[in-house]
Amino acid sequence: MTTIAFVRHGITDWNIKKRAQGHSNNPLNEIGRRQARSVAKRLSDEKWDVIVSSDLLRARETAEIISSYIGKPITFDKRLREIGLGEIQGTTEEERIQKWGKIWRQLDLGVETDQSLGERGIAFVEAMARKYPGKRIIAVSHGIIIGQTLKELFQSDTRDNNLNNTSVTIITKSKGAWRYLLYNCTCHLKTELINEQ
């Protein structure tokens, strides 16, 4: 039974400002580092065989913190990168409206398509199942790519795929089919808040 735990990276200043990150190399902020330590502690309570991460800085930092708790090396995979945002990368919604008007979503601004994103995500999932059959894999990535991958994998699923920072979503493959074990779980962050009070 192959298991993949998708972990969204910790929060960044651009997340807080609602600035489109795309392929930018933004670091975690201090809250994001605390979130990453919390999810790392949580994951260290279980056995994991492999850590794979997006090579973008915010995911890489999250994966490095997880690796320091779990003791497994990290492999980087560009298929786990966030959606490519073309000309809108680095902008807020307000800035996009100022520059291109309210119809900016209808313009060709070089944003990666949902189809391309879904294909990239599914290619990653299938490659992991082939390369690490029966293993438990942590995949550190980004909200939109994880969400689109899940949407593609579970076609009839109606979840909104709005994943929280450092959320854990676990899928498993048995008898040739993928299913959810856990979705968008951030219980480790609640524990952190209780411990800080």
- Which of 9, 142, 152, 188 is an active site residue? 9
Check the annotation: does 37 bind a ligand: no
157 near 149, Cβ under 8 Å?
no
Check the annotation: does 58 bind a ligand: yes
Residue 146 CA to residue 165 CA, distance in Å, equals: 12
Residue 76 CA to residue 190 CA, distance in Å, equals: 29
Residue 66 CA to residue 69 CA, distance in Å, equals: 5
Check the annotation: does 12 bind a ligand: yes
Kindly report the number of other CB atoms within 10 A of residue 197's CB atom.
4
188 catalytic, yes or no? Answer: no
The candidate with the shortest Cα–Cα distance to 39, out of 164, 196, 171, is 164
132 near 149, Cβ under 8 Å?
no
196 catalytic, yes or no? Answer: no
- Which of 82, 112, 152, 192 is an active site residue? 82
Check the annotation: does 145 bind a ligand: no
Check the annotation: does 15 bind a ligand: yes
Check the annotation: does 19 bind a ligand: no
Check the annotation: does 170 bind a ligand: no
DSSP code per residue over 71-138: ---EEE-GGGSPPP-GGGTT--HHHHHHHH-TTGGGS---PPPHHHHHHHHHHHHHHHHHHSTT-EEE
Q: Which residues are catalytic?
A: 9, 82
- Residue positions forming the annotated binding site for substrate: 8-15, 58
- Residue positions forming the annotated binding site: 8-15, 58
